[in-house]
Amino acid sequence: MLRALARVDLGAISSNCALLKRTVGHGTLLCAVVKADGYGHGAVQVAHAALTGGAEWLAVATAAEATELRASEIEVPVLVMGALSDEELQVAVDARADVVAWRHRFVERLGALPGAEGIGVHVKFDTGMGRLGTRDAEEAFGVASEVAASQRLRLVGAMTHFATADDDPGFMRIQLDSFTPWAQTVRDAFGGVLVHAANSAATLCEPASHFDLVRCGVAVYGMDPFQADPAARGLVPALELWSYVAEVKPAAVGDTVGYGRRFVARHATWIATLPIGYADGFRRGLSDNAEVLIAGRRHPLVGTVSMDNITVDLGPAPSEPAGIRGAPAVLLGREGGERILAEDWARRLGTINYEVTCAISPRVPRAYSGNGA
Ligand SMILES: *Cc1c(COP(=O)(O)O)cnc(C)c1O
Ligand 1 centroid vs 221 CA: distance in angstroms? 12
The verdict on domain 239-340 having CATH code 2.40.37.10 is yes
CA angle in degrees (0–180, nearest 5) for 208-211-212:
160
DSSP β-bridge partners for residue 155:
121
> For residues 86 and 108, is the Cβ–Cβ distance under 8 A?
no
Residue 338: beta bridge partners?
335
C-alpha to C-alpha distance for 316 and 335, rounded to whole angstroms: 22
pLDDT of res. 372: 61
21-64 pLDDT, tens digit each: 999 999 999 999 999 999 999 999 999 999 999 999 999 999 99
10-223, what's its fold?
TIM Barrel (3.20.20)
Is 259 an active-site residue?
A: yes
For 295-345, how does the pLDDT look when each residue is reduced to its tens digit (9 = 90+)? 989 999 999 999 999 999 999 999 999 999 999 999 999 998 999 999 999
Alpha carbons 129 and 126: distance in angstroms, whole number: 6
CB neighbours of 184 closer than 8 A, spacing ≥ 6?
none
What percent of the chain is predicted at pLDDT more than 90?
99
* Cα of 308 from ligand 1 centre, angstroms: 32
Q: How many Å apart are CA 179 and CA 182, to the nearest integer?
A: 5
DSSP bridge pairs for 100: 122
Q: What is the pLDDT of residue 193?
A: 98
Q: What is the 3-state secondary structure (H, E, C) of the chain?
A: CCCCEEEEEHHHHHHHHHHHHHHHCCCCEEEEECHHHHHCCCHHHHHHHHHHCCCCEEEECCHHHHHHHHHCCCCCCEEECCCCCHHHHHHHHHCCCEEEECCHHHHHHHHHCCCCCCCEEEEEECCCCCCCCECCHHHHHHHHHHHHHCCCCEEEEEECCCCCCCCCHHHHHHHHHHHHHHHHHHHHHCCCCEEECCCHHHHHHCHHHCCCEEEECHHHHCCCCCCCCHHHHCCCCCEEEEEECCEEEEECCCCEECHHHCEECCCCEEEEEECCCHHHCCCHHHCCCCEEEECCEEEEEECCCCCCCEEEEEECCCCCCCCCCCCEEEEEEEECCEEECHHHHHHHHCCCHHHHHHCCCCCCCEEEECCCC
Set 21, 35, 354, 368: catalytic member: 35
Shortest-distance atom of ligand 1 to CA 82: 15
Count the alpha carbons within 13 Å of 272 in the hemisphere toward its beta carbon.
Answer: 31
Which residues, in sequence order, are bridge partners of residue 159? 124, 196
Express each pLDDT in 54-98 by its tens digit. 999 999 999 999 999 999 999 999 999 999 999 999 999 999 999
Under a CB-based contact definition with an 8 Å cutoff, are residues 345 and 283 in contact?
yes
Our mutation pick for probing the ligand 1 site, out of 16, 31, 33, 352, counting the most ligand atoms within 8 A of Cβ, is 33
Instruction: Based on the residue annotation, tell me whether 35 is a catalytic residue of this protein.
Output: yes
Type of residue at 21: K
Model pLDDT for residues 102-152, shown as the tens digit of each residue = 999 999 999 999 999 999 999 999 999 999 999 999 999 999 999 999 999
**Residues whose CB is less than 8 angstroms from the CB of residue 78 and which lie 6 or more positions away in sequence, other chains included:** 57, 58, 59, 60, 66, 69, 70, 95, 96, 97, 98
Query: Which segments of the chain belong to CATH 3.20.20.10?
Result: 10-223
CA-CA distances (angstroms) from residue 325 to 130, 249, 299, 322? 53, 10, 15, 8
What's the gap in Å between 33 CA and the centre of ligand 1? 7
Q: How far is CA 210 from CA 26, 272, 340, in A?
A: 11, 49, 32
The dihedral through the CA atoms of 152, 141, 210, 83 has a sign that is positive
pLDDT of residue 371: 75
In the chain, which residues fall in CATH 2.40.37.10?
239-340
Q: How far is the CA of 132 from the centre of ligand 1 (A)?
A: 13
In ligand 1, which atom is closest to the CA atom of 81?
A: 13
- Are 134 and 197 spatial neighbours (Cβ–Cβ below 8 Å)? no
Which atom number of ligand 1 is nearest to the Cα of residue 39? 8
Q: Rounded to the nearest 10 degrees, what angle do helices 63-71 and 43-52 cross at?
A: 70
* Percent of residues, the chain, with pLDDT higher than 70: 99
Q: Whole-number mean pLDDT of the chain?
A: 97
Residue from 39, 244, 259, 278 carrying the catalytic annotation = 259
Q: Pocket residues for ligand 1 (CB within 6 Å)?
A: 33, 35, 81, 161, 199-201, 215-218, 225
pLDDT range class, residue 373, cuts 50, 70, 90: low
